[in-house]
Structure 1
């Protein structure tokens, strides 16, 4: 437990170093899965590690030790963690639980609001056109979801670009991109060290939708022009005043929690050949997640042995 319990925390510090390679070298769909899985697994592993460290502090207090028939004196002698470290871990764990609970509540509420608003939008083919001169387009998750496009955006783009726009937004709905964003943000709430991973997910889902649009239309250059054209048109346009936090749009600016990566990076990626799966990055991510999981399990086993030792004293 002296080393294993700290390894998930160390991996959380190092994990942001792999964000850029995954975003720029790995196929967006796979990158999204790897980043989201990393955020969730590392957040869970680091939270468990904090809990294990906090538990070593609890058994040192005689009143609490008697509840489990443990020897507080033996715990103070055999425990590998300093009391100050264990107490700090307890405080950090409390903050992580509160932050994660708040994030879960807020995300559930915004997604429910988005689904309700989508259900109230009558449409035959999932497309809703709103009278608004500000160029805008976004997807509202729901059962089913809706693609909402303003008349300003329709006037900005030509007919062929309309198909690209719809393909992009429908890709968000078909792949449930809002779920990836929600999970990554949940992990970042529990462990703030993982915020770069959550931010990267908001970029890779846009790249994922861009690639789906390029596949469906067969013209990567035109998709790149459409993304750039829509961004330029919206640059000086006033933002919409009421958009649910669960919405995802081609402009990637629906919510402070859903901030897409820079549009020029997306355009440059579309003008380049499609990215591959990059087995080396996939393997490296798998190794990191396996190490975090195994070290957490090893630390939990060590705590079990410690409790048996102090219970037998």
Structure 2
């Protein structure tokens, strides 16, 4: 196996800081796409590398070699350490698969419980309203994904806000549903399971998704000041009680609220030179392309190894 197979496992250490820095200089919508795409591509490359390392070791098994008509002595001479490396890669790959399954089951369980909680409230709501009000004194609100999605808000949250602030809150949560932000969060969550370095993308992604919805709400109600006030008051009200929202249900009162309020009250580009932004963007692009290219090169190398092993004469 060529050195290229290791590159997708190492590049996240360089690409993640570049993606975080670049996202701070971009509009929220573009930043969210950059962070999500970076997480998905790097996770795919790392997973492919683990799979290729595992496959290279499986070729050394007598049963696999016999089925593929491969020369085991030639494979052993080519890479004597492939067996132990494949064993380690296979163990990590199995662990990742188990964690992915556990994460998926947890998300499904949380969403099922949330939908069960709003079922009664939804039955009493107007048809097609897309809003479920829970009779709960705790202040909470979130965008519950589904078919169709629902904006879930408690009576405690409604009492904590004025009528205009309620309009901001509902516009914010509807923006989450319309842009399907739960898919962005899911992609980042699964990517973090595939490679530990990608965990550092989850927090900035959550922030930029909230900023995306903040901007949509501000455009909907026509006031950035009102939006900032509503976000702040919702966060203060919700801070008094723990939230029961699912992990994939974004909410207006989460994340670094003071930073979001400051961005609403003083919008403008981040003070960074065009040259600096271009350099970081070029570095991130190079990392992503190199990761994908290295995975493809390692795949081609494994394919050539198999073909060559099939043409070797049997041992005497």
**Does TM, scored on the shorter chain, surpass 0.5?**
yes
Shift in CA distance, 136/111, structure 1 to aligned 2, threshold 3 Å: closer
Counterpart in 1 of 2:207? Answer: 203
**Distance between the aligned counterparts of 1:115 and 1:294, measured in 2?**
42
Q: Is the 8 A contact 1:116 1:142 kept in 2?
A: no
1:185–1:19 distance in 2 versus 1, CA, 3 Å: same
Please report how far the alpha carbon of residue 133 of structure 1 lies from its aligned counterpart in structure 2 after TM superposition.
2.5
Instruction: Give 1:104's aligned residue.
Output: 104
Normalising by structure 2, we get a TM-score of 0.85
Unmatched segments (≥5 aa) in structure 1: 253-260
Which residue number corresponds to residue 27 of structure 2?
27
Alignment-derived partner of residue 263 in structure 1: 257
Offset of residue 109 of structure 1:
4.1
Q: Quick check: 1:215 aligned with 2:219? A: yes
Number of residue pairs matched by the alignment: 302
1:110 and 1:244 in contact (8 A); partners too? yes
Q: Does 1:251 align with 2:253?
A: yes
The residue number in structure 1 matching 2:306 is: 307
Q: CA 1:85/1:36 → structure 2, altered by over 3 Å: closer, same or farther?
A: same
Superposed, 1:134-283 pairs within 5 Å as: 134-235=138-239, 237-240=240-243, 242-252=244-254, 261-275=255-269, 280=278
Give the CA deviation at 1:71: 1.3
Q: How much does 1:287 deviate?
A: 3.4
Residue 12 of structure 1 deviates from its aligned partner by: 2.0
User: Match of 1:152, SS?
Assistant: helix
- SS of 2:11's equivalent in the other structure is helix
CA distance 1:117–1:154, shift in 2 (3 Å): closer
Deviation at 1:85, TM superposition (A): 2.7
1:101-120 deviation per Cα after TM superposition (whole angstroms, max 9, x unaligned): 22233334444554565565
The RMSD of aligned alpha carbons is 2.5
User: Which one has the largest radius of gyration?
Assistant: 2
Look up the SS of the partner of 2:136 in the other structure: coil
- Provide closer, same or farther for how the CA distance between residues 19 and 263 of structure 1 changes in structure 2, counting only shifts above 3 A: farther
Q: 1:282, CA displacement in angstroms?
A: 5.4
CA contact 2:60–2:76 (8 Å) conserved in 1:
yes
Secondary structure of the residue aligned to 1:249 is coil
Measure the CA separation in 1 of the matches of 2:237 and 2:110.
27
Q: Is the 8 A contact 1:214 1:220 kept in 2?
A: yes
Kindly tell me: are residues 109 and 290 of structure 1, through their superposed partners in 2, closer, same or farther at Cα, counting changes over 3 Å? farther
TM-score (norm 1): 0.86
Q: 1:167: how far off?
A: 0.8
C-alpha contact 2:137 2:154 (8 A) present in aligned 1 = yes
User: C-alpha displacement at 1:285, in angstroms?
Assistant: 3.9
Q: Per the alignment, do residues 116 and 22 of structure 1 end up closer, same or farther by CA in structure 2, a change over 3 Å counting?
A: farther
SS in 2 for 1:248: coil
Q: Which shows bigger deviation, 90-99 or 101-110? A: 101-110
1:189-211: CA deviation from partner (whole Å, max 9, x where unpaired): 22232111233322221111111
Cα contact 2:15–2:284 (8 A) shared by 1: no
For the structure 1 residues 50 and 81, does the alpha-carbon distance in structure 2 shift closer, same or farther, using more than 3 Å as the test? farther
Greater Cα shift, 13-22 or 76-85: 76-85
